Amino acid sequence: MSIIEAIILGVVQGATEFLPVSSSGHLVLVPALLRMSPPELSLVAMVHEGTLLAVLVYFRRDLCQIMKGVWQGLVQKRPFATTDSRLGWFIVLGSIPVAVVGLLWEDLFDRVFGTPPVAALFLLGTAVLLIVGEKLVSGNRPLSTMRWSDALAIGLFQVLALFPGISRSGTTITAGLWRGLDRETAARFSFLLGIPAILGAGALSLADLLQTGLAEGEWTVYLVAFLTAAITGYACIHFLLNWLKRRSLFLFAAYCVLFSLFFLVVWFI
């Protein structure tokens, strides 16, 4: 893969991991549309780790508070006494469904992942979810009122994102709105919940990469893809959090519909 293709892949992953338009779908559709060779799993893992770095840096203060809250709660034998401590356990609970389903049916999702027309159709599903989510915007519950049932419901919705074309951030934000959380809280928890998911998506492939190694020239390509994904991801987190304070999800739904239909027309022609 060339440097230009690595930059494209990094931008695609960095932007679509956090914007509610499906990174998995775009990693299938964009290379097919541009007639690029399908990216190797090791390179996909590298751009996932780039977006992981973006979310860790952006929410570094939140994560420090969460870890501090969880630790103090365990030491004081009051693990759920504070909002920060509960949030840490909510992230754990919300991550269980996607981890279990992903491990049990990994082969199924791998087969679906490699089919561009199917990914394009699932992108239409993301549009439906975003429209439904926007219609559900009526909640005003802050993070301090979040319950175990909210975290589990959002985690169950995240399972849908195992299908390429279904947005992880889109499903989890929609679930948060459905549970009555305010827009900012739904988006913030969606990004924090994404940390274990993004880590899991790239960890196994990255371990294989470290064992097999890369040729000297390939390291440059991988580093460029990693940094591009990290920088783009950081910018898109900031953009979406500010966007949701004043605007709706309809723009992203419209994009999903238009891009899906455009791809299907080009593909079949």
The predicted-structure confidence for 62-82, as pLDDT tens digits, reads as follows 999 999 999 999 999 898 989
Average pLDDT taken over every residue of the chain: 87
| Arithmetic mean of pLDDT, 49-68 | 94
Decide: 112 and 166 in contact? Cβ < 8 Å: no
pTM for the model stands at 0.88
pLDDT of 90 higher than 80: yes
Q: In this predicted model, which residue has the larger pLDDT, 215 or 242? A: 242
Mean of the pLDDT values across residues 115-135?
Answer: 90
- If you average pLDDT over residues 115-128, what whole number do you get? 91
The two structure tokens encoding residue 90: 């909510």
CA distances to 1, 84, 96, 181, 190 from 89, in Å: 40, 9, 11, 18, 14
Q: Residues 134-158: what's their mean pLDDT?
A: 89
Higher pLDDT, 198 or 195: 195
